[in-house]
Amino acid sequence: MSQISDLLFESRVVAESVADYLAGGRLRLGVTGLSRSGKTVFITALVHHLTRALAGDAAKKTHLPVFRAFAEGRIAAAHLDPQPDYGVPRFAYEEHLAALTGADRHWPQSTKRISELRVSLEYRAKGWSLRRSLGQGPTRLDIDIVDYPGEWLLDLPLLEKSYAQWSRETLEAAGVAARAMIASEWRGLTAQADVKARYQEETAKKLAQAFTDYLRAARSDRFALSALPPGRFLMPGDLEGSPALTFAPLSVEEGEDLPYRSLGREMERRYEAYKAQVVKPFFRDHFARLDRQIVLVDALAALNSGPEAVRDLETALTGVLTAFRTGRASLFSTIFRPKIDRILFAATKADHLHHTSHDRLEAILRHLTARAIARAEGVGAKIDVIALAAVRATREAMVRHEGESLSAIVGTPVAGERIGDEIFDGEAEGAIFPGELPADPRNVFRGEALAVSEEEAEFRFLKFRPPVAALGREGSLSPLPHIRLDRAMEFLFGDRLT
């Protein structure tokens, strides 16, 4: 039955791919990243630049030099169109833009569910075009942006794991230095659980709640850990309280014969239901149809928390690549079976650093993703790594301090942020000396203890409010400032605009 289901799935993917190709240029761009990595801000800024950069005097003031189709003046129009998947929520672009640019400017709510938005670009092709040669009108590229939580991506490897294997790996991970303290209550309950005892719903709820509390604590700013599947435990939505989210790892052996209606047998059934009813539909309906992918990474949060958090981020990023259907695109694969042939890893919030550290941030992310990149490149996918700020919240300045000129960043820290005894009110600007990242990226792994206080942290990066929105001469909103967003555009879809 499973083989028949898989065959039907592949047939549907082929049919959709042929229909998309005949209808015109289309690219499905996946945007993901772990919590608070800036997915919503990235998509909002990307769409804002594409749709506003050509309007009025904004075109004279906006510079996207690395995005060649724009720099060469070949994009004739850009606009939002109805999305193709009517059963998927629309990405709330207008609402998020208003949050960034309104009078009380603030960062929009983070991604908690899948959403989609279509941006259509009309452009002048540089060379031969199949559609133009067939007289099918102006050359157009529809970019379907699919926004989904990175936590869901980390669930995909579960499809290949049994309950016993997942339980063993999860319990082992909870015993390392970075997790042992926050996992102690849950591990204590697990140690007392009798996997062969008759199943009781109250016991299952207590174990699942303790496990969820551990996952939430691990994800908090204090610890900033990354490898935390199952992802829906942190973003339950309408599944909250359902049996599919009421399970937890237990100490069971592979192939162990557990009694009927025992705690261990029921936990295993619920784990398998989670894979079948939550993880697999996401893979089939959305993930497997992507062409390009950007993975946003908040490396600065891990650096804030210390070497253990950095190591955990490396583990998570390595796991990310196991989920991708990667492979070099060809005409045949474009028509008949899409594969993700370009993946961009992006270290966000580069504006929290002076530009002299931007390349170092890239080097750190490249080091963290080295194993993942080697695996993906081995099957033909093109990979790049950048440091960017989709919306630049700071500017740079030279500041005199104790008779010395120092490179600083200037912005409005979020209310409650602090440096030493100074607490910011969210209104006044501050000049911050962020320091320099190490020239050797291997240095971020040095040390064993997880930094749990401001005094212990080697790095300290503040959170800033969005910049004050600028208006053009005609009163329209000017494109938001950014760092290297144009480079991301060029890598992700610039080749499709030639």
Give me the sign of the Cα torsion angle 373, 377, 383, 384: positive
Shared domain for 294 and 319, answered yes or no, is: yes
Which of 229, 261, 282 is the last residue in one of the domains?
282
In a domain, 75, yes or no: yes
Please tell me the predicted confidence (pLDDT) of residue 312: 87
Q: In whole angstroms, what is the distance from residue 150 CA to residue 231 CA?
A: 8
What amino acid is encoded at 125 in this protein? A
Shared domain for 15 and 116, answered yes or no, is: yes
Shared domain for 212 and 354, answered yes or no, is: no
Domain that holds residue 248: 156-282
Q: In whole angstroms, what is the distance from residue 153 CA to residue 148 CA?
A: 8
Shared domain for 191 and 244, answered yes or no, is: yes
Shared domain for 325 and 241, answered yes or no, is: no
Sorted by sequence, the CB contacts under 8 Å of residue 495 that are 6+ apart come out as none
In a domain, 106, yes or no: yes
pTM score > 0.85 for this model? yes
Q: Which has the closest alpha carbon to 37: 344, 296, 220?
A: 296
CATH number at residue 28: 3.40.50
Shared domain for 271 and 313, answered yes or no, is: no
Shared domain for 42 and 124, answered yes or no, is: yes
Sequential DSSP letters for 266-316: HHHHHHHHHIIIIIHHHHHHTGGG-SEEEEEE-HHHHHHH-HHHHHHHHHH
Please tell me the predicted confidence (pLDDT) of residue 326: 52
Which of 222, 251, 282 is the last residue in one of the domains?
282
Shared domain for 31 and 144, answered yes or no, is: yes
Neighbouring C-alpha atoms within 13 Å toward the C-beta of 274: 32
In a domain, 454, yes or no: no
Please tell me the predicted confidence (pLDDT) of residue 448: 44
Low-confidence spans in the chain with pLDDT less than 70:
1-24, 53-62, 127-138, 325-338, 376-379, 447-460
In a domain, 396, yes or no: no
Shared domain for 7 and 125, answered yes or no, is: yes
Residue-wise pLDDT for 162-202, tens only, equals 999 999 999 999 998 878 899 999 999 999 999 999 999 99
Q: Please give the radius of gyration of the chain, using alpha carbons only, rounded to the nearest integer.
A: 24
Per 3-state DSSP, what percentage of the chain is helix, strand, and coil (rounded to 5)? 45, 15, 40
Shared domain for 243 and 376, answered yes or no, is: no
Give 464: exposed, middle or buried? Use CB within 10 Å, 0-12, 13-18, 19+.
buried
In a domain, 448, yes or no: no
Which of 254, 282, 310 is the last residue in one of the domains?
282
Q: In whole angstroms, what is the distance from residue 372 CA to residue 367 CA?
A: 10
The label of the residue with tokens 């709820």 reads 205
Instruction: Give the Å distances, CA to CA, from 443 to 297, 305, 438, 456, 472.
Output: 19, 14, 7, 16, 45
Q: In whole angstroms, what is the distance from residue 151 CA to residue 412 CA?
A: 30
Burial 144-167 (b: 16+ CB within 10 A, else e): bbbbbbbbbbbbbbbeeeebbebb
In a domain, 41, yes or no: yes
Number of domains in the chain: 2
Shared domain for 310 and 223, answered yes or no, is: no
Shared domain for 199 and 273, answered yes or no, is: yes
Please tell me the predicted confidence (pLDDT) of residue 336: 46
Q: Is 221 helix (H, G, I), strand (E, B) or coil?
A: coil
